[in-house]
Amino acid sequence: MNPELFEKYQMFTEKTIYDLSQQVIMLEKKLNIFTNLLEISKYINQYIKDQNLFPLINDMLIGVFGAKYSTIYIKLDNEYLEATPQIFSYSSIEAEKKLILEHHEEEFIINSNMPIYATQNDEESIFSCLGVPIKVNNRLLGFILIQHKEKNYFSKDHATFLSSLGNHVGVAIENNLLYNQIKESAYKDGLTGIFNKRYFFETLGTTPHLIDQNYSIVMVDLDNFKFVNDTYGHPYGDIVLKKVAAIIKNATRPNDIVARYGGEEIIIFFYNFTDKTKVSQRVEAIREEIEKTVIQDEHISSSVTASFGVYIKINEAISLDEVIKKADHNLYVCKRTGKNKVTLS
């Protein structure tokens, strides 16, 4: 054979073999992705009725992507709500929401040499961030953010895989929310419509790593409620309770928990809301709203006040019961020193 022709033939053969091997690699890669998606989908479907579905998915995402953090946001009434509370500062949550909106709620990858934002520990600043929308039938349900402290960590392949995974997550979330809506009806207080004590403790009692999370507990007690019942009657007292519960519920986020603790006591669990100034402002606003609201029923027109005991748990490894006791102690101090105010520690 002509040496020149042989060389061309050899080059052609080598290129063909190389192209075929690349195709095989791509097919294997796609097969691996498909297999992983099936396995992850099976895992998610196992926990479709679990009230801790969001943290479970979150932990799974961190493991699959080898990431430092992951956050799932649910979009309700045009607002993104954090569904997977972590040991993040309030400012970092706001920074993440800002990133979502700045990218017009579409997929994005940020690999930066400068910190994108910092967590509570400055040594764990975020340098890489991957975000994809969660959609079902082109309807935006929320957003997934995966973060890493390493630089240049995420690639387009990561985004493609997470986007495919987001479809499975979206269906699971929608089914989970529907299931929980039905389930929650059994956990509502019959008079006020807020959650009952059973729901409060069952939900938080099964929240993963609650002892390591930062949150605030607020104990609310209506002042002189016995006088209200004795003066105006129990039917009017029931109206007062319903109105106060509605005021408190309207002043909290959907992922917070507001429950009737007993009698005229209401308890609030603020997820990952621990900035002392902001918590104080939020609770004081609730107190003022209760105080200024005139509650009417036929010929009765009156108003009530409430006392608030608040405890902010931040970077403390203490149980929920211990936090409640501390908030309850602050409520006792509040009652003893004048009522109709907020005592916070």
pLDDT by residue for the chain (345 residues), tens only, comes to 556 655 655 565 555 555 555 554 444 444 454 445 456 556 565 655 566 677 778 888 888 788 878 888 888 778 888 877 554 556 778 888 999 999 999 999 999 888 887 655 555 678 899 999 988 888 888 899 998 888 888 888 888 888 887 777 787 777 777 666 666 677 888 899 999 999 999 889 988 889 999 999 999 999 999 999 999 999 999 999 999 999 999 988 878 999 999 899 999 999 888 999 999 999 999 999 999 999 988 888 899 999 999 999 999 999 999 999 999 999 999 999 999 999 998
* Burial class of residue 336 in the structure, from the number of CB atoms within 10 Å of its CB (0-12 exposed, 13-18 middle, 19+ buried): exposed
Task: Name the token pair of 275.
Answer: 């900035």
CATH topology classification for 47-185: Beta-Lactamase (3.30.450)
Give the pLDDT confidence score for residue 115 in this predicted structure.
84
Give the pLDDT confidence score for residue 29 in this predicted structure.
47
Q: Are 40 and 60 in contact (CB under 8 A)?
A: yes
Give the pLDDT confidence score for residue 34 in this predicted structure.
44
Q: Where in the chain is the domain with CATH 3.30.450.40?
A: 47-185
Q: Where in the chain is the domain with CATH 3.30.70.270?
A: 188-344
Closest of 49, 52, 311, 48 to residue 203, by C-alpha: 52
Alpha carbon 1 to chain centroid, angstroms: 72
Give the pLDDT confidence score for residue 25 in this predicted structure.
44
Give the pLDDT confidence score for residue 50 in this predicted structure.
62
Give the pLDDT confidence score for residue 344 in this predicted structure.
93
Q: Give every strand in the sheet of 139-148, ordered side by side.
A: 79-82, 69-76, 139-148, 128-136, 108-111
Give the pLDDT confidence score for residue 180 in this predicted structure.
67
| 264 tagged catalytic | yes
Give the pLDDT confidence score for residue 41 in this predicted structure.
59
Q: Are 181 and 199 in contact (CB under 8 A)?
A: no
Please identify which of the residues 79, 102, 202, 264 carries the catalytic annotation: 264
Give the pLDDT confidence score for residue 56 in this predicted structure.
78
Q: Are 272 and 280 in contact (CB under 8 A)?
A: no
Give the pLDDT confidence score for residue 44 in this predicted structure.
60
CATH class for the region spanning 188-344: alpha beta
Torsion of CA 254, 257, 263, 264, to 10 degrees: -60
Classify 186 in phi/psi space as left (phi over 0), alpha (psi -120 to 50) or beta: alpha
Whether this prediction's pTM lies above 0.85 is answered by no
Give the pLDDT confidence score for residue 242 in this predicted structure.
94
Give the pLDDT confidence score for residue 10 in this predicted structure.
56
